[in-house]
Amino acid sequence: MQTFMTDKDVVARVLGHIADGTTDRGDDVWQEPVENYRSEARFKQELALIRSVPMPFCPSTALPKAGDYIARNAAHTPLIVVRGKDGTVRAFKNACRHRGTQLVEGKGCAGAFVCPYHGWSYGLDGALLGIPHEDGFPDFDKLANGLSKVTAIETNGIIFIVQQDPNETQSEAQAMLSGLPEILKDDQIIFSESEMIVEANWKLHLESFLEGYHIKPAHKKTFYPFGYDNLNIIEFCGPHARVTFPFRRIETLKGTADKDLEVSDKLTYVTHMFPNVILAELTYHYTLGILEPLNVSKTKITTYNLTKSTDAAGKDKALADAKRDIAFVNETGQTEDIAMVTGIQRSLHSKANETFTFGHFEPAIVHFHKEMAKRLRRS
């Protein structure tokens, strides 16, 4: 599978566009029916699609030691993702095998999971360990009633979940992950986590990350003074995409020897992990945003903020830089994007548009809709 370009090639392409007054362009113009953002039936198909592919659940470093777990819904399925005593990450449906009670909430560290309702207990490997007053359940097969398993794949610093039957999807799951570059490293510190509700269809929120055509009008006083009007590099890796947003200071790299090339404060990489996760690599921090579609017009965003690699700068400096960096991004640009996105949501039912048009400067969004359409046709 095609992979993303090296920093050096990205910089060369950006400098070429600056010199020529151009940007990356897509071949196609795409019309997406507005009904696809309103339809309950379509929404259900999209949830099924999200459950059928490897979906990033959290950074590996969110579960550093045995017993660390996170309980959260993924495409409406309540899950527990936990690191076992053998270091392997496993995922289970968060439902007791007695009568379905959720075993844990949020995150924590446990030696075992004990159901709060009647006290059935499960090991970190999902095995049913104990049933209080077991004589009330004669002939009950404990071995066959461990927690219901879901496939977890830990690779590239991310824990991915595949909810469909692993036998059917494993090969496709692996294929979707091959070619993705190294995403997160072990020495990046998670310095904050948050959850936010956005009153908009999940695809509207996603689209706001996938083009730079809006930088000048929508971020006039925030991002635009540091960036360019409509200048991006757009790359694809299977269904995934990466959009590069250069800063004006990238021009100082003209003539820089390859060995001295340091791009971290010269551009932002935004990687779209198909279908519902965004990783932004900013000057001093990374943000992993997982979009959980709550209903057709409401989305929960779970965000992990991580420092950059801490080996070069040292932990304290990396942390201080990251916190300063994030204050700028959150207090400025993100608010502006959400205002646009929720405004679109409010007009969806007005019948003003029967389709939305994505042009030559929005190819990562066109790619997303094509991949969605192709996969939904198949299902």
Per rule CB under 6 A, is residue 115 in the interface with ligand FES? yes
Q: Out of ligand FES, Fe ion, none, which partner does residue 286 contact, by CB within 5 to 8 A per kind? A: none
> What minimum distance in Å lies between the beta carbon of 146 and ligand FES?
13
- Judged on CB neighbours under 10 Å (0-12, 13-18, 19+), 275 is buried
> What minimum distance in Å lies between the beta carbon of 119 and ligand FES?
6
Per rule CB under 6 A, is residue 96 in the interface with ligand FES? yes
Q: Name the segment binding ligand FES (CB under 6 A); options: 94-102, 141-149, 186-194, 340-348.
A: 94-102
Cα gap 377→369, rounded to integer Å: 12
Q: Out of Fe ion, ligand FES, none, which partner does residue 155 contact, by CB within 5 to 8 A per kind? A: none
Instruction: Report the residue from 118, 248, 298, 370 that binds ligand FES according to the rule CB under 6 A.
Output: 118
Nearer to ligand FES, 96 or 200 (CB): 96
Assess contact for 90 and 70: CB atoms under 8 A: no
Instruction: Report the residue from 76, 98, 107, 216 that binds ligand FES according to the rule CB under 6 A.
Output: 98
Per rule CB under 6 A, is residue 104 in the interface with ligand FES? no
Q: Out of ligand FES, Fe ion, none, which partner does residue 115 contact, by CB within 5 to 8 A per kind? A: ligand FES
Question: Which residues in 141-200 contact Fe ion (CB under 5 A)?
Answer: none
C-beta neighbour count of 320 within 10 angstroms:
15
Per rule CB under 5 A, is residue 211 in the interface with Fe ion? no
Instruction: Report the residue from 120, 223, 236, 304 that binds ligand FES according to the rule CB under 6 A.
Output: 120
> What minimum distance in Å lies between the beta carbon of 320 and ligand FES?
45
Q: Out of Fe ion, ligand FES, none, which partner does residue 98 contact, by CB within 5 to 8 A per kind? A: ligand FES
Q: Out of Fe ion, ligand FES, none, which partner does residue 213 contact, by CB within 5 to 8 A per kind? A: none
Nearer to ligand FES, 30 or 122 (CB): 122
Q: Out of Fe ion, ligand FES, none, which partner does residue 337 contact, by CB within 5 to 8 A per kind? A: Fe ion
> What minimum distance in Å lies between the beta carbon of 333 and Fe ion?
6
**Which segments within the chain are labelled E, that is strand?**
30-33, 55-59, 68-74, 77-83, 89-93, 106-109, 113-114, 121-122, 128-130, 149-155, 158-162, 190-198, 233-237, 240-246, 267-273, 277-281, 285-295, 298-307, 355-358
Cα gap 27→129, rounded to integer Å: 58
Nearer to ligand FES, 99 or 249 (CB): 99
Residue whose C-beta lies closest to Fe ion: 337
Beta bridge partners of 131: none
Assess contact for 10 and 244: CB atoms under 8 A: yes
Instruction: Report the residue from 337, 345, 363, 371 that binds Fe ion according to the rule CB under 5 A.
Output: 337
Per rule CB under 6 A, is residue 121 in the interface with ligand FES? no
Query: Among candidates 64, 129, 59, which has minimal Cα distance to 302?
Result: 59
Residues 6+ apart with CB under 8 A from 20: none
> Angle 40-52/363-378 helices, nearest 10 degrees?
90
Cβ density class 164-177: b for 16+ within 10 Å, e for less: beeeebeeebeebb
Cα gap 307→41, rounded to integer Å: 40
C-beta neighbour count of 30 within 10 angstroms:
19
Cα gap 242→332, rounded to integer Å: 22
Nearer to ligand FES, 131 or 301 (CB): 131
C-beta neighbour count of 46 within 10 angstroms:
23
Q: Which residues bind Fe ion (CB under 5 A)?
A: 337
Q: Which residues bind ligand FES (CB under 6 A)?
A: 96, 98-99, 101, 115, 117-120
